Structures are given as structure tokens and as C-alpha cells.
Amino acid sequence: MFGLYPAGPEWVRSFSLANNAARDIQKSLVDFAGFTPAIQHQPFGHDRGAVLAQLGQTLLLLATTPGATEIAITPSVQMQHLLWSYQEGYASQWSAAEIHGLSGYSGWSELLTNARREFSRACDHVSAALAGTLCAPICAPQRAVVAADLNASFPNEDDDAFYAQMAAVVEGASCGL
């Protein structure tokens, strides 16, 4: 369904959605793998895939043809053109400033290394999301933020209620003295 993109077949990986809903896969990737949700625009043209989510310069495309149940991972349009240029021997036509402006990388070596790494990581995340094994990364324990902390208004320091609240916090805290 997706066909061939400018960077070539090694830069496209297709997956079957099988019994998975596209929105569930999108949510899993956004929640647990650092993807950014997309509004299903079609950067490569009509019926060439609608962007479901993005990880850096890598796109997760959803098939747009009726009855299709596929998704694919491929680099963004700008990255496709850069990769094509490099593969076809036109790398010298791009200045370091142009490469940096289009990709954020300082040169070809950094671009190629990071593009491969990001593409591979995105493919791994999508595979895990489809298998139902994608979960939040294990991080160092952090202080739980209570919803009330985020929604509390800034206290009025001239208010007796503020002082009462601060006194309660101080009394409940143990300084170990």
C-alpha cells in the first residue's frame, strides 16, 4: 500500500495492524515511547499514508486506502530527500548549514548515525506496541505530584488561611532534629 519512498526500501518497514486499533497503537506510542501524536496529514501525497505519530524525524503512517490494515515507519519528507541525495552521490551538494537546517544534525556522519538509530528504535517501539508489550520505561523514583498541587491557586500571603496551611505543613514535616 505504501509503495516506495525516495530514500529506498531499507527506510520503510510495514506492519499489519491485525486486531489492533490504530488509535490504541498511537496512544501507546505517545504514552510510553515518546512519540508525538499527529493529525493524519498525508505528507507524501494522496493514499501514500497518513501520519499517525512521529518520533523525531521518523513517521508512523496509517494506510488510507479502504480496507487496508497496515501501518508503516519511514523517515520524514525532508529526511527522505537527504537520505536519497546521500545514497545517489549528491551529498556534496548539501552544505553543513542546509543539513543542519533540515535535520538538526551537524553533518552527514551524525545524520546517518542518528537516522538509523531513530528508525530502528521507532520500529522496535511499534513492534512492541502491536504485541501489547510496550510499557513505560523504568525511571528513578520521583515524588508523586498530586493533582491538587498542580491546580492550587497561588496563596494569598496576607491571608490567615495561608498561615494555617503552612503551619500544618511544618507540623507534619519531620526535620530529624
Q: What is the pLDDT of residue 160?
A: 65
Q: What is the pLDDT of residue 174?
A: 46
Neighbours of 81 (CB within 10 A): 17
Residue pair 94/81 in contact (Cβ under 8 Å)? The answer is: no
Q: What is the pLDDT of residue 157?
A: 55
Counting as low any pLDDT under 70, the low residues of the chain are 1-4, 137-177
The H or E element containing residue 13 is: strand 13-16
- Maximum distance among all alpha carbons in the chain? 73
Q: At what angle do helices 96-103 and 77-87 cross, to 10 degrees?
A: 140
Question: What is the model's pTM?
Answer: 0.73
Q: What is the pLDDT of residue 177?
A: 38
Q: What is the pLDDT of residue 161?
A: 65
CA atoms within 13 A on the CB side of 139: 8
Q: What is the pLDDT of residue 106?
A: 92
